[in-house]
């Protein structure tokens, strides 16, 4: 059983060593533990630090592409390297590395496809009151949209089985956390939470510059992800609301027309009729979007089959000698020159 711990990084040369040192070297049920750093266009020595500490795999983006793209690049690389379980953690050492064993346990036992580390937002001493309220509200919204029981939706400390990773396709340009849960929930994956410990923040978040920006980007991601998997429901609801609003001025016109004063209220008929037409058009768009969504599902199924085929064609244990180039490549990995080992 092979575990790859991936760490998306952007200018994390200072905090990365502490994060790497805190990672576990052995976990019951895991045969191989490897570390993957995704350098998302850093302008400091992030990649050099990773090499110095003996990180097994480094993926580097030429420019900063954002957390979501870095996460997806990491998933793709981990799958290509034969990971059976992938753990995602932050480079700022927010999450306690010793809790990775707790995180992977439900995947190892076959009880979960995805495990999310629950930071205990409500009682977390590292969070301010406003941040607690914001996190709880956001998690409740994602819980509703994804039809899951996750209580810390934006926690980036996650364990993902190989099969789940092959089915997840992140399209957001902001963050993967909420989109991943909505996708996984709608694909009926088994998702559980485990309580984890956190460390205090060492710097402000680089994901967003202000709270309003975070709320706007996260809200847009939620709406887009939910609409992607439930287009008919979203458009029908929107169209119905618009049509109902349009019915109000028409009823008003009919009332005045019934009492003989309809001549001065034709504008209500025009406005109401326009809104009803707009509502019907929205519902029709929903039908078209639903068909497009079905086609997207077929494409995702094709992609999953392609990944399975790649697994079958990739280097696997040799039937004659029981060896594999994936296992033997451990002897060729960079030697640690820092304190990782």
Residue 85, φ and ψ in degrees, nearest 5 = -135, 140
* Three-class SS state of 85: strand
Name residues whose C-beta falls within 8 Å of residue 163's C-beta, 6 or more positions apart in sequence.
113
For 192-239, how does the pLDDT look when each residue is reduced to its tens digit (9 = 90+)? Answer: 999 999 887 666 665 656 667 777 877 777 787 788 778 888 889 999
* Three-class SS state of 186: helix
In 180-287 the beta strands, taken as DSSP E runs, fall at: 191-195
pLDDT at 318: 42
Please give the angle made by the CA atoms of 187, 188 and 192, to the nearest 5 degrees: 120
DSSP string spanning 311-340? HHHS----TTT---HHHHGGGGSPPP-SS-
For 263-298, how does the pLDDT look when each residue is reduced to its tens digit (9 = 90+)? Answer: 777 888 889 999 999 999 999 988 888 888 777 777
- The pTM score is 0.73
pLDDT of residue 184 exceeding 70: yes
pLDDT of residue 326 exceeding 50: no
DSSP string spanning 276-312? HHHHHHHHHHHHHHHHHHHHHHHHHHHHHHHHHHHHH
For 93-131, how does the pLDDT look when each residue is reduced to its tens digit (9 = 90+)? Answer: 889 999 999 999 999 999 999 999 998 877 776 676 777
Of the listed ranges 22-36, 39-53, 313-327, the one predicted with least confidence: 313-327
pLDDT at 210: 65
pLDDT of residue 323 exceeding 70: no
């Amino acid at each position: 059983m092979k575990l790859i711990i991936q760490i998306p990084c952007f200018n994390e040369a200072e905090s990365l060593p502490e994060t790497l040192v805190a990672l576990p070297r052995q976990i019951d049920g895991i045969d191989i533990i490897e570390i993957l750093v995704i350098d998302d266009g850093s302008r400091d020595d992030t990649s050099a630090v990773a090499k110095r500490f003996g990180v097994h795999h480094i993926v580097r983006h030429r420019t900063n592409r954002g957390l979501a793209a870095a996460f997806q690049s990491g998933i793709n690389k981990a799958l290509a390297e034969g990971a059976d379980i992938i753990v995602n953690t932050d480079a700022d050492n927010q999450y306690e590395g010793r809790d990775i064993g707790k995180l992977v346990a439900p995947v190892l036992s076959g009880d979960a496809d995805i495990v999310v580390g629950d930071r205990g937002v409500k009682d977390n001493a590292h969070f301010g009151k406003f941040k607690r309220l914001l996190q709880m509200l956001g998690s409740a919204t994602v819980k509703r949209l994804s039809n899951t029981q996750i209580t810390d939706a934006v926690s980036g400390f996650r364990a993902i089985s190989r099969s789940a990773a092959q089915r997840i396709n992140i399209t957001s340009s902001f963050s993967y956390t909420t989109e991943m849960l909505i996708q996984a929930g709608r694909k009926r994956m088994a998702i559980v939470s485990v309580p984890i410990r956190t460390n205090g923040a060492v710097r402000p978040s680089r994901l967003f510059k202000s709270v309003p920006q975070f709320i706007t980007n996260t809200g847009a991601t939620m709406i887009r992800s939910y609409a992607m998997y439930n287009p008919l429901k979203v458009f029908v609801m929107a169209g119905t609301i618009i049509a109902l609003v349009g019915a109000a001025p028409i009823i008003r016109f009919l009332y005045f027309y019934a009492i003989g004063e309809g001549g001065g209220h034709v504008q209500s008929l025009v406005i109401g009729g326009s809104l009803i037409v707009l509502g019907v058009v929205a519902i029709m768009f929903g039908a078209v979007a639903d068909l497009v969504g079905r086609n997207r599902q077929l494409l995702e199924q094709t992609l999953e089959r392609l990944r399975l085929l790649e697994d079958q064609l990739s280097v696997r244990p040799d039937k004659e000698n029981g060896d594999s180039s994936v296992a033997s490549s451990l002897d060729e990995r960079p030697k640690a020159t820092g304190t990782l080992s």
